[in-house]
Structure 1
Amino acid sequence: MSPDQLTPTAPDPRSWEYADEFVATSPEVSAARETALAAEWSPVGTGTASLLTFMSRAIDAHTVVEIGTDAGVTGLSLMQGMDRKGVLTSIDAESDRQAAARVAFERAGMRSNQFRLITGMPLDVLPKLRDGAYDLVLVNGDRLEYVEYVAQALRLLRHGGVVVVNGALADNTIADPDNDADETLIIREALDSIQETEEFRPVLLPVGSGLLLAIKE
């Protein structure tokens, strides 16, 4: 067998689209996403939402923090994988996004004790949360603060907990060594910090705009 036959063929755009849409999101998540798009926000796509549900269920998450409320798309995706006794803490500086999330959660039948929405600057709120108390932390807020968010996630996660960094490929700029835009540099620094942290065991997935997952050992 030739070396060319041993090299797998990289997926083309059609395959990426097929994979991204392979697992349909629930009607409630789809409705939240439509609301976000109508408000000209940028919610996560189907593949990312499905992976968040998968991850929260896979690790049996009961306590989850998301940084960036995403109008309820990410929060609802996470809660749909969580036990109904679990609690999502969602932090965002923009009250309109949190209001949209509350509507999405309530329409999906989530009880008020399953989530808490905290309006405020994440870097002001996160230090007030308890060390080692969370199963999963989703980083999906201001990209220019990703390095600080990752540092907070390390503190907040229990051993065996998972940090998920959304937008880890920075709109296809991370792989371009000549790109020195502020967001690209910050996300590179955040990814490097995870790689260099002995307690984290990471994997980078080309899902949506890129997802970095890391287990805290």
Structure 2
Amino acid sequence: MPSFPERTGKTSTKVPLDVAPEDAVLTAARARADELGCLALSAECGAALRMLAAALQAKAVVEVGTGAGVSGLWVLRGMRPDGVLTSIDSESELQRAARLAFREAGVTAGRARLINGRALDVLPRLADGYYDLVLISDAPVTEYPDYLVEALRLLRPGGAVAFGGVLLGGRVADSQARDPVTLVARELLRTIRDRPDLTPAILPVDDGLLVAIRG
């Protein structure tokens, strides 16, 4: 019989290995995001998205919120080599920064399709049931229910939708918080939880990454 060490009941918070190292390309993209006043996801959140894209063997991904390309770089690194990222943002300056980041990473033009515009105007033009992953990384929380409707139309069976920042700095769990944004976030969580065709989980990265797999 193999022996195992006794459990002490204590949980270590120390991480013995950095599982989300960022190379020079990601570091430069993050620096440009700071210069442009754009909030970029953490390396830990990026690693979670890379893992999700890899687990899905993602060939087609939609991202709402291009930013300076940090999230796109992480997702592309988890996608299939022939995969295409479609990223939507209304800020042309940010998309110029993202294009630079993708070029520095050696991403060919055909693998990153950047669309300038309001995402809720662009998404209805994309193909039904074609996408492996829909990522809502930068959008008003009050619009999240609309993005869920679009994501469910766009996703193939077995695909996933991911929403960033769903915990709102702890307000979602605070019963005293009754502001409109918090109420919308709570309703989104309830809606996703109660749908039989979705399998959800909240990953403890950044301010909560809600991921739901479509059955």
TM over 0.5: yes
Q: 1:200 aligns to what?
A: 198
Q: 2:58 aligns to what?
A: 61
Aligned partners of 1:20 and 1:46 also within 8 Å: no
Closer, same or farther in 2 for the Cα pair 1:87/1:185, shift >3 Å? same
Which residue identity does 1:209 align to in structure 2? D
Pick the structure with more helix per residue: 1
- Of 131, 138, 141, which residue of structure 1 is paired with 2:135? 138
Closer, same or farther in 2 for the Cα pair 1:10/1:192, shift >3 Å? farther
Moved beyond 6 Å, runs of 4+: none
Q: 2:35 aligns to what?
A: 38
- Of 187, 190, 199, which residue of structure 2 is paired with 1:189? 187
> How many angstroms apart in 1 are the aligned matches of 2:16 and 2:164?
18
Look up the SS of the partner of 2:68 in the other structure: helix
User: Which consecutive unaligned segments of at least 5 residues does structure 2 have?
Assistant: 1-6
Q: 2:21 aligns to what?
A: 24
> How many angstroms apart in 1 are the aligned matches of 2:122 and 2:16?
36
> How many angstroms apart in 2 are the aligned matches of 1:142 and 1:123?
11
Which residue identity does 2:205 align to in structure 1? V
Aligned partners of 1:136 and 1:163 also within 8 Å: yes
Look up the SS of the partner of 1:171 in the other structure: helix
Look up the SS of the partner of 2:22 in the other structure: coil
Structure 2 residue 149 is matched with structure 1 residue 151: yes
Alignment length, in residue pairs?
A: 208
> How many angstroms apart in 2 are the aligned matches of 1:170 and 1:182?
12
CA RMSD of aligned residues (A): 2.1
Give the % identical residues: 41
Which residue identity does 1:208 align to in structure 2? D
Aligned partners of 2:62 and 2:85 also within 8 Å: yes
Structure whose CA Rg is larger: 2
Q: 2:98 aligns to what?
A: 101
Deviations 1:127-155 (CA, angstroms, capped at 9, x unpaired): 11111000001012222211111111111
